[in-house]
Chains A and B, each alone.
Chain A
Amino acid sequence: MTIFYILMLFVIIAAIIAVETKRLLSAVICVGAVGFGASIMFLFLRAPDIAITQVVVEVLALIILIRVCISRELTFISGDKEFFAMVVSIVIIFAIFLAGVRVLDTLPDFGTPVFAETTDAASQTYTAEGMQKTGAANLVASVILDFRAYDTLGEATVLFTSIIGATVILRKTSKKLLEEPDK
């Protein structure tokens, strides 16, 4: 359990630096450090699937995406923070923290799954018969691509739609059309 507290401290410090730093690239790299700490935590919780996805998306893709897309290497964030917005955000964070404390009290102990208490839950069937029914040794793959494949289809549709939107908005020919007057 000590390793989780150390990693959580690392994540919190990286998050504070990400908010407070003035350079955009440093802030993005600090967000990557937050994701890296979270992925190490997932690894210690024996969830290598989500750890791989976390480290790949948050560390590689985010930093590379920002590095490719920002126009200059040194992008500084300027301007003072508003007092009212800061007070409101602190109050909201405090309210969410209080609600989180209430929710954490009702959770079962660390390491015991929630559905272990109910015998007819769907997840019990997945872990018990997933190997025989789908033949996949990786139970996560058998859940996301066989039992719950609808979720994956929806996720793929969301990705497809967002890429279509980005491609249509950012295409080169749209600017040429804008220069011509409307008829």
Chain B
Amino acid sequence: MKGMTIIVKTISSWVKVLIFLFGTYVILFGHLTPGGGFAGGVILASAYVLLMLAFGREFAEKNLSLSAVSKLDCVGALFFAAIALFGLFYGGACFFWNFIQAEFLADKETALHLVSAGTIPLSNIAIGLKVGASLFLVILVLSSFRLDTSANKEE
């Protein structure tokens, strides 16, 4: 896939930063405002897909290669599972026990602060990483599959 015209390239090089910033905001403030890991992850992935549509597939893959995306995907999934297992072993209470809130933040006045709610912001980050990486990965894989089939037809 080749890139688009210079108008699209110029505008998307400005807009991609804002989209990425908005996705990060939606993930980080997911425990205070509407949004959260899933929606923020999809916004992050759409920033990279905009890069891919405007500048071509090779440019996007040079920025964030296929192996790096799949590693990010696995890191997100492992991080989410690790939060759940920490709750099991640290407090000894149960799977997904919110141990940070119960042990460190329970007697402090943290309502509506950014650092509050224990493991919920961490889980949001993990889910956002996982969803964003996997959505970008599936779009990358599908578009490369299309390139391969069109190359086979030409032969």
A residues contacting B by CB (< 8 A) are 48-49, 51-53, 56-57, 60-61, 64-65, 67-71, 131, 133-138, 140-142, 144-146, 149-150, 152-153, 156, 159-160, 163, 166-167, 170-172, 175
Contact = CB atoms under 8 A, between A and B. Distances in A.
Interface residues of B, number: 57
B53 A67 contact: yes
Contacts of B46: 56, 60-61, 64
B111 A131 contact: yes
A49 B36 contact: yes
A133 B81 CA distance: 21
A47 B116 CA distance: 23
A149 B37 CA distance: 13
Q: Is the interface of B mostly helix, strand, loop or mixed?
A: helix
Given A140-B36, A145-B123, 12 more contacts: A64-B46, A64-B139, A68-B1, A68-B52, A137-B112, A138-B34, A145-B37, A149-B96, A153-B81, A166-B141, A166-B142, A172-B148
Given A137-B32, A137-B112, A160-B134, A167 B96 contact: no
A71 B116 contact: no
Given A141-B30, A160-B73, A146 B142 contact: no
A136 B120 CA distance: 8
Interface of B: 1, 26, 30-39, 42-43, 45-46, 49, 52-53, 70, 73, 77, 80-81, 84, 95-96, 98, 101, 105, 110-112, 116-120, 123-124, 127, 130-131, 134-135, 137-139, 141-146, 148-150
B118 A170 contact: no
A49 B34 contact: yes
Contacts of B35: 49, 52
B101 A138 contact: no
A139 to B, nearest CB: 10
Contacts of B84: 149, 153
Contact of B141 (A136, A137, A159, A167): A167
Contacts of B80: 152-153, 156
Contacts of A163: 73, 134, 137-138
A146 B98 CA distance: 7
B146 A53 contact: no
B97 to A, nearest CB: 9
B130 A141 contact: no
Contacts of A138: 30-34, 36
Given A68-B139, A141-B31, A134 B123 contact: no
B116 A166 contact: no
A175 B111 contact: no
B105 A68 contact: no
A150 B83 CA distance: 12
Nearest to B117: A136
A56 B38 CA distance: 10
B149 to A, nearest CB: 8
Nearest to B131: A159
A134 B118 contact: yes
Contacts of A57: 42
Contacts of B150: 71
A55 B124 CA distance: 19
